[in-house]
Amino acid sequence: MDNSQSASFHAGQAQGQATVKKDQMVDKASNAAQSMKDSMSEAGQTVMDKASNAADAVKDATGMKK
């Protein structure tokens, strides 16, 4: 293998490694985004549940709940 082939080989290796690292970073970002989406969904559900409970408490206190 001459110097030009060796350089080409090493450049190909570096490009392959960079692609793998890029793919890993994209996967990590995607996982983080999904995790954030799940957390926000859970937080939203908690807020809705608390609001519903508060509304029920007001209805109980005012005798509007039947």
List, for residues 39-57, the tens digit of each pLDDT value. 999 999 999 999 999 999 9
User: Pseudo-torsion of CA 5, 24, 30, 43, nearest 10°?
Assistant: -160
pTM of the model: 0.57
Rounded Cα–Cα distance for residues 30 and 47 (Å): 26
* 8-35 b/e (C-beta count within 10 Å ≥ 16 → b): eeeeeeeeeeeeeeeeeeeeeeeeeeee
Q: What is the band of 63 on the pLDDT scale with cuts at 50, 70, 90?
A: confident
Q: Where are the alpha helices (DSSP H) in the chain?
A: 3-62
